[in-house]
Structure 1
Amino acid sequence: MNKFWNFVKNEEGKRQLFFSGVIAEESWYDDDITPNIFKEELFSDTGDIEIWLNSPGGDCIAASRIYAMLMDYKGDITIKIDGIAASAASVIAMAGTSVQMAPTALMMIHNPFTVAIGDSEEMKKTIDMLSEVKESIINAYEIKTGLNRNDISRLMDAETWMNSNKAIEMGFADLVMEDGKRKNIASNFVFSRRGVSNSLLQKMKVRNADRTNIETLKKRLNLLRR
């Protein structure tokens, strides 16, 4: 089975979960294959989990079950969106204790869709079904963002794309992922500036001290002349 997730442990022994690609490329409806295996792997260990998420979306039922399992997990869950969390993947992101996005990452929410065939009655049933699916998705967004349901519905109608700043502003994310390298460079730069300033001050003190010594020598020479 080709899984769209992968559990690993980093050098510090911290659990990491990587979601990459379309959600439920294999069937998520067969409980003996996809959902149960994911659940077993998720609950096979304890402790906080760091989830790296990069997915264009996929099956909304699969996303719903993953969301529910993550919400039921006892440890803290940090979601890190390094590429895109679109459609069903954005629902998974809502399960994070903390949702972080790379400065270049994107999140997209929209209405659920499906393919239907049949007469007008079947079409009406499909419309009703999609309306209920939409309401279930809004539940997850509402819990995370605190936004009004009507506002969330309009955002979904419009197929809303959000960069990291917009997602944070609207409550879909919490933080922009820190750039450790840039932070270190900035710290070194501040340290260097302080070092230069201290060096200049020290030189000025030495020069002032030299001037004081010269004045003292002049006074002594004048005394000798007398």
Structure 2
Amino acid sequence: MKRNIEIKGPIISNDEVWIYEWFEMDATSPNMVSKALTEANGEDVIVSINSPGGYVWEGSEIYTALKNYSGHVEAQIVGLAASAASVIALGADTVRISPTAQMMIHNASSVGYGDHRDMIKNAERLRVIDKTIVNAYVIKSGKSEEELLDMMAKETWLGPQQALENGLVDEIMFMDNTLKFTASVTGPGLIPQQVIDGIRNNLINKKNFSEKKSKGLSSITKSFLNSYSNKL
């Protein structure tokens, strides 16, 4: 019997999971996937993916966990596998895509601060990250690093047939004929780091945190979110 693992919502760090759960938002962390793989205990698994991506290193950790898993891993892209989620999909032994789904690959991005030297360092870090991300695409597709880096730089959206033609998936689900789809742009769906930090800082100093958590957001946190919503 095959086990099912869901990769839904943004790819986040382990210590941010509780915030997404609190807001009842989909999200996926490395620990969630590792736990599911441990429970599968070598049985074949199907990884269902609908994610706009998220943090690079957490995506790499999940990709590596899938690669290291002893059983057969089948990835099913059922909605979107973008950015870090596209890397995760390629950690599977077999990658299948729904005829209504999409993939997207692009360069890594970040928010930087500091003087001109810091900006140069940040740019170099991003170039290194791109050169590591591309390895997953090279291994799967057999295409050259140069060609794939160019696709990433252009932020390439791929319909099912395009993903198949580029060697990033093995099969289009439910059909033998080919179709081409247009792409649409969506945000990563991550809660802004300022909101996460604000919530954590407001709540960590509350002695009765557990009681307030069960009753909902504190008035302080509500006020913080209301004031921040105008910036989103």
Deviation of 1:27 (Å): 3.6
Secondary structure in 2 matching 1:133: helix
Which whole-Å CA distance do the structure 1 matches of 2:49 and 2:7 have between them?
A: 5
Deviation of 1:39 (Å): 2.0
Task: Specify the alignment match of 1:86 in structure 2.
Answer: 82
Deviation of 1:36 (Å): 4.2
Which whole-Å CA distance do the structure 2 matches of 1:174 and 1:75 have between them?
A: 18
Task: Specify the alignment match of 2:179 in structure 1.
Answer: none
- The one-letter code matched in structure 1 to 2:34 is K
Deviation of 1:25 (Å): 6.4
The yes-or-no answer on 1:55 pairing with 2:43 is no
Which whole-Å CA distance do the structure 1 matches of 2:11 and 2:102 have between them?
A: 17
Distance 1:36 1:54, change over 3 A: closer
TM (normalized to structure 1)?
A: 0.69
Distance 1:89 1:100, change over 3 A: same
- The one-letter code matched in structure 2 to 1:119 is D
The yes-or-no answer on 1:19 pairing with 2:15 is no
Taking CA–CA contacts closer than 8 Å with sequence separation of 6 or more, which of the two structures ends up with the larger relative contact order?
2
Aligned partners of 1:28 and 1:35 also within 8 Å: no
Task: Specify the alignment match of 2:125 in structure 1.
Answer: 129
Deviation of 1:43 (Å): 1.9
Task: Specify the alignment match of 1:97 in structure 2.
Answer: 93
Aligned partners of 1:103 and 1:176 also within 8 Å: yes
The yes-or-no answer on 1:170 pairing with 2:158 is no
Which whole-Å CA distance do the structure 1 matches of 2:33 and 2:119 have between them?
A: 34
Which whole-Å CA distance do the structure 2 matches of 1:28 and 1:80 have between them?
A: 26
Which whole-Å CA distance do the structure 2 matches of 1:28 and 1:131 have between them?
A: 26
Distance 1:60 1:28, change over 3 A: farther
Q: 2:37 aligns with which of 36, 42, 67?
A: 42
Which whole-Å CA distance do the structure 2 matches of 1:50 and 1:75 have between them?
A: 11
Percent identity over paired residues = 37
- The one-letter code matched in structure 2 to 1:15 is R
Number of aligned positions between the proteins: 163
Which whole-Å CA distance do the structure 1 matches of 2:55 and 2:172 have between them?
A: 27
Deviation of 1:37 (Å): 5.1
Which whole-Å CA distance do the structure 2 matches of 1:134 and 1:49 have between them?
A: 29
TM (normalized to structure 2)?
A: 0.67
Deviation of 1:151 (Å): 0.1
Q: 1:74 aligns with which of 52, 70, 81?
A: 70
- The one-letter code matched in structure 2 to 1:172 is L
Task: Specify the alignment match of 1:158 in structure 2.
Answer: 154
Secondary structure in 2 matching 1:43: helix
Alpha carbon RMSD of aligned pairs, Å? 1.7
Which whole-Å CA distance do the structure 2 matches of 1:28 and 1:76 have between them?
A: 29
Q: Unaligned 5+ residue runs, structure 1? A: 1-12, 180-226
Aligned partners of 1:46 and 1:75 also within 8 Å: yes
Which whole-Å CA distance do the structure 1 matches of 2:124 and 2:16 have between them?
A: 23
Q: Unaligned 5+ residue runs, structure 2? A: 18-28, 176-232
Deviation of 1:35 (Å): 3.6
Which whole-Å CA distance do the structure 1 matches of 2:32 and 2:8 have between them?
A: 17
| Larger Rg belongs to | 1
